[in-house]
Amino acid sequence: MAKMEVKTSLLDDMIGVGDMVLLEPLTEDSFINNLKKRFDHSEVYTYIGSVVISINPYRSLPIYTPEKVEEYRNRNFYELSPHIFALSDEAYRSLRDQDKDQCILITGESGAGKTEASKLVMSYVAAVCGKGAEVNQVKEQLLQSNPVLEAFGNAKTVRNDNSSRFGKYMDIEFDFKGDPLGGVISNYLLEKSRVVKQPRGERNFHIFYQILSGASEDFLCKLKLERDFSRYNYLGLDSAKVNGVDDAANFRTVRNAMQIVGFMDHETQSVFEVVAAVLKLGNIEFKPESRVNGLDESKIKDKNELKEICELTGIDQSVLERAFSFRTVEAKQEKVSTTLNVAQAYYARDALAKNLYSRLFSWLVTRINESIKAQTKVRKKVMGVLDIYGFEIFEDNSFEQFIINYCNEKLQQIFIELTLKEEQEEYIREGIEWTHIEYFNNAIICDLIENNQTGILAMLDEECLRPGTVTDDTFLEKLNQVCATHQHFESRMSKCSRFLNDTSLPHSCFRIQHYAGKVMYQVEGFVDKNNDLLYRDLSQAMWKASHTLIKALFPEGNPAKINLKRPPTAGSQFKASVATLMKNLQTKNPNYIRCIKPNDKKAAHIFNDALVCHQIRYLGLLENVRVRRAGYAFRQAYDPCLERYKMLCKQTWPHWRGPARAGVEVLFNELEIPEEEFSFGRSKIFIRNPRTLFKLEDLRKQRLEDLATLIEKIYRGWKCRTRFLLMKKSQIVIASWYRRYAQQKKYQNIKSSAIIVQSYIRGWKARKLLRELKHQKRCNEAATIIAAYWHGTQVRREYRKFFRANAGRKIYEFTLQRLMQKYFLEMKNKMPSLSPVDKNWPARPYLFLDSTHKELKRIFHLWRCKTYRDQFTDQQKLIYEEKLEASELFKDKKALYPASVGQPFQGAYLEISKNPKYKKLKDAVDEKIIIAEVVNKINRANGKATSRIFLLTKNNVLLADQKSGNIKSEVPLGDVTKVSMSSQNDGFFAVHLKEGSGAAGKGDFLLSSDHLIEMATKLYRTTLSQTKQKLNIEISDEFLVQFRQDKVCVKFIQGSQKNGNIPTCKRKNNRLLEVAVP
């Protein structure tokens, strides 16, 4: 609904019919079609008077938000669209304002949404009641009791993933202000048989799966459990996992809820220990053994599970083992002990598991009640919420379905009685004559079941207590005798001849015609389930447990309190509980929510007509509508009725000044509605037939259209007049602005014209003055020129004789001077850069300046070279002198030279003074080392190389061992006569020594170095400096080297090498060394 839309009645924008009382015609098909139409439009709620029909949408709808809560708060029940919040608000306001105790009865079959409906009711009440720390704590405890009870009392079934397997009635207590004080929960008939056996496709109670999925490994170890579901016989494996359900997260929610509700840590631990014990009971298995007397007895196969159960519960293992194998029967002062066979042992085991879990659930409810009960003694207002099983019709119906359907019969009975009572009270209150309403009274069916003498439950109890052989067949025979003539009881074996040939009714079944239809019950199991026996030995064994909680669950096991009286049967207990519930409900004002399941697939947007029809029948909804419509179908207070329909009469429209009732009377008389179709109550108008109401709605709709047309017409007229006045006003404003603009434009044009005329006049005057001034100037210039020419003529005439003798020479000198001046000025602007390598020079302008031009170029180059040299340091000058020396020695002679030009001469490559390895060598050499480099000394025997350190000082050439640093040879510079090398790209060179010198004993040195150019240059310069003689540098591809007494020819050849670009030396014969250069 849009934000601006305001609804004042459920009849506004109604999809289908919002209240089934107004459905016309009223048939089963029209009823279903109306529900389907509303369901398809996401309208899941429909009224039958004050009863709410709720259809489970199986999806989340945006109709439960806090905004929706505020929308329905303190609103009339019929003011807005049907909603569960409307019923909750009506019940809460009646309790708070009128001091009437309320009860909300929620019924429907499994999967119809009863539990969710009860949660919505409680959440709405919690939202609209008061606030405060204590109030919020009470509300939180009431709301958090639901997760705990759901975990222990709900299970996954084929119809519902969260099906309540117990009936719950909660009384919420309020103070006089309407704030919650506490609550009391009652539970009915927990389906404890599910603990030991589940139908195919269903699960056990949620708590078993939640513990195994969500508990920590340490916690499971304490409970002696394993996480694998398949380890436990009581857990069905085919549906252990449910889509969309997170058991681990739910377990955390349950533990948190138990803490909020008020469970102590040791209590929570005890509860989970009992659950673990129940789970492990299913793993105990028995084997048969024969005794000497021929009787069969049972023994436990694997005692490990029994041992762990005893450790959890604190029971002596031998005591529990004996309780599973023997049964003690006491009669007066005698005790008889009998053995149990395997079937009886399994029965005892399952009975113990069912009783243990059932009593634990009852203890949980009691413990929650202790936490949430009201603490004050003041008088309290009560709102009860009943969430109980709906009518059940399965293929196989047993004892559980029988007593569930009995409970629904009682609820239907009280529903009819209270509905009729409410109708009658309203008629009397409004002064309307009450007419008798025909309806089906199901009291006869309730009597068939609960009569103390001839009722089915009485017969069942009598059969269970009767001595002798008691079976389900004997119970059926007794029913056939006592109930044969009852019109709602059918059996194949009864004395009534009309069922003898009814093949649809098996011999072991009986059929009851309930208000919702016929239900056939399988008599098998009725006696055992009604007895619900737990052997006294097992009760006493449980009482002997050291586990506090288990001991408290079995008070009858106390030997000091042995009661030989048979405990009440399950049927009689449930009958008493239902009687108490009915008595409680009759003291309260009832509110009904009928829940319907649209399909069996638990899927959204699917509406199964047949399934819905079946639920409509057994819920008795058509009967409910007929009871509601038996008198007057619709009623409404005078004020809202007049407000809604006053536009249908000229006298009441638009305002009625008198009482509302008088206005409604005038309205109905004006519309000529027959008097039998309505009645006037004290505060309400009663309309008998829905057709009359729909006629009023149709008239109202037509009138609204007429009024809308009238309003539209008036609005259009107002809009046109407003637009005209606005246009008129706008036209005046526009005209005034235009006139202003036109006058401004005219003024601007006049002003512009005046300025142009003025400028033209000023220009004409200025040009006239300019012409006069120019004429005067030309006259002055002409006079000056004439005077100059005249003076020139006079001077030339006077000095002509002087100029004629030297005129040619002077003109030549002057011209030459001017050309020289121009040449130098141009050279100034065209000078090249100061770089000595820049060879650019301006072109020669005149031929006669050729020698001058070349001399200037030479002088300029010398000058910039000197300027460039002046920038050098002493070290740089030395380097360049060495480089210049190298150029003179090797340029265009040695192929290795160009590569050395760009390499600086470093000299000390080994850094002998810094390297501790050469400390011995440094100490042996006192002079300054000019060059220190590793060279390869060539062996004359085989041409192989040996690494040596080559040192050049001011006076000597030294060769030292590279590894040890020992000096191998020392040659004075005066003994070096010549250095030979090839012209190719190699580093070989020979140092020739003076014959007869001390160093020449072993002959000349043939060496190889990567810095040949630098070494040869420095050796040349040092020798020149010391000896004042130039060292002979021989560059040839073939030269002789003296080795001791022999002279060997060193020959350089071109060739490809295996070692890449490295030259190699090879001894060819005694007189030839061949160096292959790549």
| Catalytic residue IDs | 110-111, 115, 160, 163-164, 390, 392
CA–CA separation, 626 and 623 (whole Å): 5
Residues in the chain: 1078
Q: Minimal CA–CA distance to 1063: which of 1048, 1071, 1051?
A: 1051
294: left (phi over 0), alpha (psi -120 to 50) or beta: left
Q: Minimal CA–CA distance to 118: which of 78, 80, 91?
A: 91
532: left (phi over 0), alpha (psi -120 to 50) or beta: left
Residue partners of 711: CB distance under 8 A and separation at least 6: none
Determine contact, residues 554/500, Cβ cutoff 8 Å.
no
User: 3-state DSSP call for residue 664?
Assistant: helix
494: left (phi over 0), alpha (psi -120 to 50) or beta: beta
**Using omega within 30 degrees of 0 as the cis cutoff, is the peptide bond preceding 288 cis?**
no
CA–CA separation, 571 and 916 (whole Å): 112
CA atoms within 13 A on the CB side of 1070: 3
User: 3-state DSSP call for residue 1062?
Assistant: coil
Q: Which two tokens stand for residue 881?
A: 């002198």
Angle at CA of residue 326, ends 322 and 329, nearest 5°: 130
Determine contact, residues 277/541, Cβ cutoff 8 Å.
no
CA–CA separation, 857 and 863 (whole Å): 10
**Using omega within 30 degrees of 0 as the cis cutoff, is the peptide bond preceding 506 cis?**
no
Q: Minimal CA–CA distance to 678: which of 952, 430, 940?
A: 430
- Report the run of H or E that residue 188 belongs to, with start and end: strand 180-188
Q: Which two tokens stand for residue 352?
A: 């113990």
**How would you label 121-132 residue by residue, b for 16+ Cβ within 10 Å and e otherwise?**
bbbbbbebbeee
CA–CA separation, 64 and 757 (whole Å): 86
CA–CA separation, 77 and 87 (whole Å): 7
Q: 10 Å Cβ neighbour count for 191?
A: 19
CA–CA separation, 1062 and 1076 (whole Å): 9
129: left (phi over 0), alpha (psi -120 to 50) or beta: beta
User: 3-state DSSP call for residue 134?
Assistant: helix
3-state helix, strand, coil in the chain (%, to 5): 50, 15, 30
Determine contact, residues 541/320, Cβ cutoff 8 Å.
yes
**Using omega within 30 degrees of 0 as the cis cutoff, is the peptide bond preceding 654 cis?**
yes
Determine contact, residues 142/372, Cβ cutoff 8 Å.
yes
Determine contact, residues 210/371, Cβ cutoff 8 Å.
no
CA atoms within 13 A on the CB side of 91: 30
Residue 486 dihedral angles phi and psi, to the nearest 5°: -70, 135
Residue in this structure with the two tokens 């020739």, named with its chain if needed = 992
What are the distances in angstroms from CA 85 to CA 89, 99, 591?
6, 20, 12
Residue partners of 841: CB distance under 8 A and separation at least 6: 832, 857
CA–CA separation, 818 and 410 (whole Å): 143
Q: Which two tokens stand for residue 198?
A: 């589940």
